[in-house]
Amino acid sequence: MNHEFSANVRGRTENGVLVVTIDNPPVNAASAAVRAGLYAAFAHAEAASDVDAVVLTGAGKIFVGGADITEFGKVPADPSLPEVVARIEGSTKPVVAALNGAALGGGLEIALACHYRLGAKTAIVAFPEVKLGIVPGAGGTQRLPRLTPLDQAVELIATGRSLKAEAAKTAGIIDALAEGDVLSQAIEIAIRGDRNLFRKSSEQPVITAPGEAIEAAATKILAKSRGQKAPAEAVRLVRATQDTDFAAGLADERKTFVALRDSAEAAALRHVFFAERAAAKIEGLENVTARPVSTIGVVGTGLMGSGIAVAALDAGYRVIGIEQTDEAAQRGLERIVGMLDKNFKSGRITEQGLADRLSRLTVRGSLGEIAAADLVIEAVFDDLAVKTNLFRALDDIVRPDAILATNTSYLDPDVIAAATRYPERVVGLHFFSPANIMRLVEVVRCAKTAPEVLASGFAVARKFGKLPIISGVTEGFIGNRIFSAYRREAEFLIEDGAEPREIDAAMEAYGLAMGPFAVFDLAGLEIAWARRKRQAASRDPSARYVDIADRLCEAGRFGQKSGSGWYNYEAGKRVPAPEVSAMIAEARAAKGIVTRSIGADEIVARLLGAMADGGRKLLDEKIAARASDIDLVMINGYGFPAHKGGPMYAAEIQG
Ligand code: T1G
C-alpha cells in the first residue's frame, strides 16, 4: 500500500514493513515538509496493524543532507527536528535506517534515532554543524558518544570531519555495510533481523575514553578555533555526557544550539556556505562542457610547481613535470617525491596511494616531453619574457586543443596569451602556495579565453579539491589587489601612530591567523620593494606614500628569512624590534606627522574598510563577479576568518 505523508515523504507497506522515503531534492534537507511527513509516517506506523517494522531511506544519492539551511533565519515550523527524532527513536516497532548516501548533521541525527543503521558502500556520515557556527541540535552530541568512544565523538563533532562508510562502521556509527542494494537488505533485516541488534542509542551507556585522550582532542580543537564559539561548545556538550543523563544533556544541547544559531558567527558562516555555491555559477558557462583532461604538464618544479604537481597527482591525473635541464628535473622529481613521501609518513596517503601516484609521475629536462599534455600549467619565474617565450614554444609542441594555463601572480595574462597562435586556449590558474594545501584558485578569464577552456579550468580546479573563483584581468587579480589595499592601509596606520605589533594583535584578536606585518615578514619584503622601485617613476607624487618598508629593506631587513623585518626573530619567534620602532618614529617625524595612539577597534575598522573599498572597485571594474566571491578569496587565500564572513560581508554588517 502507498502513502503520501507529505509533499516530500512517501511510504509503501509490504510484508509488514513500512518503507519511508524522504524525497526532497537536491539533498533531501530536513525541511518543514520533510519533518511533518516523517512525523506523520511514524504516527501511521505506530497505529497501523499491517506494519511490524519501518525502514527509513532517502531518494537519490543522499540520505539526508541535514537541516534545511534556508530555514535558519525564519520562524521555526512544527514539528521541530528534535520532536521528529524523539518520535522515531520512541517507535515501538523496530526502525532500520537504509543509509543510501550521505547522512549529515540533522540527517545523521535522524539516522542515530533509528534502531539499526545499514550503510551503502557510498554512505558518508558527518556532523558539519560547526562549519555553520552551530552544534548539532537534535541529539547528535548526546547520541554519538553512546555509539563511538568519547574522544572520537569530541573530534568528529567539533571539527565536522566526515567518515566514509567503512570508517563509520569501524567507529560504531553504522551497524553494518550492505553487500548489494542497501534498501532491499534493510527490508530483509527489518523482517528477519535479530531483534537483539536493534537498540535505542539514547539508552546506551556513554563509551568513555581515557581522560588524556579526551583532553588531547579538546586541546587540539580549541587551539585551532581562533575565537569561534561553536567548536568549544561542541567539546563542552560531548564531554558533559560523562556526568549528565541523556535528558539533561539534550536540553543543554538544544539551548546551546538555539543561541548559536542566532549568533553573528553562524550568520557569517551561512553566508560563506551559500557564497561557495554561488561561486560555482559562472555567467556564460551555463551549458558549456569542459574538455577532457587526463594528463597535466607542469612547467617549473620549484615550490609552486611541485605543489601543483602533488595536487594533480592527488586528484588522479598523470603528471609530466618539466625543467630546463636533466639535473633540475632530478631535483624537481626529488622535491615532488619528498612531498608525497611526507604525506605517506603522516598517514595522509596509503602505501598503495603513494605507489599509484609515483606511477603517474614523470619529470623531464626538456620541454618536448610535454607533447602528451591535455593541460599545461606553467609555474616558472614570474617574468614576462620568460613566460611569453615559453607559451610561444608550447604552441609548437602541444596539440592545438590542449589548454595552456599561466600561474602568474602579477603579469598580464592577455599579453602572455597574445604570444601564442591560439589565445583562446589560454586561461589563468592562479594557485596559492603551498599549492597542494591552499584551497583557493583564481581562474582568470582572459580577453580571448574560450568558454570550454574556462570551464575546463574550473573542472580541473574542482577535481583538485580546490575552490575556484572567477577573476578578470587586473594586476594581482582579486586577492592581491585587495591585499595591496590592505598593505597600504596597514602602513598608513603605522605612520599615524600604531606599532606593527599593535596592528597584528588587533587583527589576530579579530580572527586572522596572522596579522599583516607578520605576514609581510613571512612572505619576504623584497618582492614588494622591487615592485615599488619599478613603479616609482609612474607614481602619483601627490598620493600618500609610506617609505618605511623601503627603509627596512635598505637596512637589509627582508623578513623572517633574513632573520629580521618588521620584527626581529629569535628561535623562529617574532619579537618587537626597537630599532624598527625608531625607524618608524624617524619617518613620522620626517613628514611632521603628529602621532596618536590608535585603538584595536579603529585598526580593525580601517583595515576592513580598506579591503572593502578595494573590493568595491573590483566590482565596479567587473573584475570580480560578486561581492561574495571576494569574501571567499580572502578567506581561502589570505587567512581571513570564515566566521566573520569575509571583508565585504563584515563591512556591510558594520555599515
Ligand atoms: N539546506 C538547504 N540547502 C542545501 C543544503 C541544506 N542543508 N545542503 C545543500 N543545499 C543546496 C545548496 O545550496 C545547493 O543549492 C544544492 O543544495 C546542491 O548543493 C539540527 C543544525 C549535501 C554534501 O551542513 O555539505 O543539520 O546552489 O552544490 O556537491 O543538527 O550540499 O543548487 O541552489 O553542495 O552534491 C548540516 C551541507 C545542516 C550539509 C551535497 N548540513 N551540504 O553536495 O551539492 S545543520 C550541512 C553539503 C543541521 C541539525 C542541524 C552538500 C552535500 P543550489 P551542493 P553537492
Q: Read off the CATH number of the domain in which 516 is found.
A: 1.10.1040.50
Please indicate whether residue 119, judged by its CB atom, sits closer than 6 Å to ligand 1.
Answer: no
363 located within any domain: yes
Instruction: Give yes or no: residues 323 and 247 share one domain.
Output: no
Number of domains in the chain: 3
State pLDDT tens for residues 582-631: 999 999 999 999 889 999 999 999 999 999 999 999 999 999 999 999 99
Domain boundary among 471, 494, 527: 471
Q: Read off the CATH number of the domain in which 85 is found.
A: 3.90.226.10
Take residue 52 and report the three cell numbers written for it.
Answer: 511490524
649 located within any domain: no
Q: What is the pLDDT of residue 527?
A: 84
Distance separating alpha carbons of residues 98 and 88, to the nearest angstrom: 14
Instruction: Give yes or no: residues 96 and 204 share one domain.
Output: yes
Helix (H, G, I), strand (E, B) or coil at 299: strand
140 located within any domain: yes
Catalytic member of 4, 46, 129, 233? 129
Distance separating alpha carbons of residues 649 and 513, to the nearest angstrom: 18
Domain boundary among 471, 487, 521: 471
Ligand 1 atom showing the smallest separation from residue 160 Cα: 24
Please indicate whether residue 66, judged by its CB atom, sits closer than 6 Å to ligand 1.
Answer: yes
Ligand 1 atom showing the smallest separation from residue 105 Cα: 26
Q: What is the pLDDT of residue 224?
A: 85
Instruction: Give yes or no: residues 495 and 454 share one domain.
Output: no
Distance separating alpha carbons of residues 302 and 324, to the nearest angstrom: 12
Domain containing residue 352: 295-471
Q: What is the pLDDT of residue 75?
A: 84
User: 302: burial class by Cβ within 10 Å (0-12, 13-18, 19+)?
Assistant: middle
Burial 537-575 (b: 16+ CB within 10 A, else e): eeeeeeeeebebbbebbeeebbbbeeebbbbbbeeeebe
Q: Atom 35 in ligand 1: which residue has the minimum CA distance?
A: 27
Q: Give, for 393, the enclosing helix (H) or strand (E).
A: helix 384-397
Residue whose CB lies within 8 A of the most ligand 1 atoms, among 69, 112, 134, 276, for a mutation test = 69
CA of 246 to the centre of ligand 1 (A): 29
**C-beta neighbour count of 450 within 10 angstroms:** 19
CA of 567 to the centre of ligand 1 (A): 44
Take residue 535 and report the three cell numbers written for it.
Answer: 613603479
| Cβ(94)–Cβ(50) below 8 Å | no
Q: Note the Cα 614 to chain centre separation in Å.
A: 24
Q: Atom 30 in ligand 1: which residue has the minimum CA distance?
A: 136
Residue whose CB lies within 8 A of the most ligand 1 atoms, among 8, 22, 24, 27, for a mutation test = 27
349 located within any domain: yes
The interface predicted TM-score (ipTM) is 0.95
Q: Give residue for cell 564572513.
A: 645
CA of 392 to the centre of ligand 1 (A): 44
| Cβ(123)–Cβ(63) below 8 Å | yes
Instruction: Give yes or no: residues 220 and 317 share one domain.
Output: no
Residue 83 appears among annotated catalytic residues: no
Phi-psi region of 637 (alpha: psi -120 to 50; beta: other; left: phi over 0): alpha
Q: In what order do the strands lie in the sheet with 426-431?
A: 361-364, 318-322, 295-299, 375-378, 403-406, 426-431, 440-444, 467-471
H-type helices in 438-563, by residue range?
451-463, 477-496, 500-510, 516-523, 526-535, 548-554
Instruction: Give yes or no: residues 221 and 325 share one domain.
Output: no
Distance separating alpha carbons of residues 157 and 238, to the nearest angstrom: 8
CA of 65 to the centre of ligand 1 (A): 6
Which of 94, 101, 100 lies closest to 116, judged by CA?
Answer: 94
CA of 259 to the centre of ligand 1 (A): 21
State pLDDT tens for residues 282-309: 999 999 999 999 999 999 999 999 999 9
Domain boundary among 414, 443, 471: 471
Instruction: Give yes or no: residues 577 and 609 share one domain.
Output: yes
Q: What is the pLDDT of residue 74?
A: 83
Residue 489 appears among annotated catalytic residues: no
Which of 450, 382, 457, 381 lies closest to 420, judged by CA?
Answer: 450
580 located within any domain: yes
Instruction: Give yes or no: residues 502 and 466 share one domain.
Output: no
CA of 23 to the centre of ligand 1 (A): 14
Instruction: Give yes or no: residues 348 and 496 share one domain.
Output: no
Instruction: Give yes or no: residues 214 and 105 share one domain.
Output: yes
- The gap between the terminal CA atoms of the chain, to the nearest Å, is 57
Instruction: Give yes or no: residues 440 and 533 share one domain.
Output: no
Q: Atom 23 in ligand 1: which residue has the minimum CA distance?
A: 65
315 located within any domain: yes
Distance separating alpha carbons of residues 390 and 341, to the nearest angstrom: 30
Instruction: Give yes or no: residues 500 and 571 share one domain.
Output: yes
Q: Which residues of the chain have pLDDT under 70?
A: none
Please indicate whether residue 136, judged by its CB atom, sits closer than 6 Å to ligand 1.
Answer: yes
Please indicate whether residue 139, judged by its CB atom, sits closer than 6 Å to ligand 1.
Answer: no
Instruction: Give yes or no: residues 422 and 316 share one domain.
Output: yes
Please indicate whether residue 109, judged by its CB atom, sits closer than 6 Å to ligand 1.
Answer: yes
558 located within any domain: yes
Please indicate whether residue 323, judged by its CB atom, sits closer than 6 Å to ligand 1.
Answer: no
Helix (H, G, I), strand (E, B) or coil at 564: strand
Distance separating alpha carbons of residues 31 and 28, to the nearest angstrom: 8
Which of 9, 44, 39 lies closest to 24, judged by CA?
Answer: 9
CA of 229 to the centre of ligand 1 (A): 22
The overall pTM is greater than 0.80: yes
Q: What is the pLDDT of residue 169?
A: 98
Catalytic member of 89, 109, 233, 499? 109
Q: Read off the CATH number of the domain in which 325 is found.
A: 3.40.50.720
Q: In what order do the strands lie in the sheet with 162-164?
A: 62-64, 102-104, 124-126, 162-164
Contacts 24+ apart (CB under 8 A), 550-553: 551/583, 551/587, 552/525, 552/580, 552/583, 553/525, 553/526, 553/529
Ligand 1 atom showing the smallest separation from residue 261 Cα: 21
Distance separating alpha carbons of residues 54 and 320, to the nearest angstrom: 54
598 located within any domain: yes
Q: What is the pLDDT of residue 382?
A: 85
Distances, alpha carbon 438 to alpha carbons 223, 307, 463, 469, 472, in Å: 20, 10, 14, 13, 21
* Residues listed for the chain: 655
Please indicate whether residue 126, judged by its CB atom, sits closer than 6 Å to ligand 1.
Answer: no
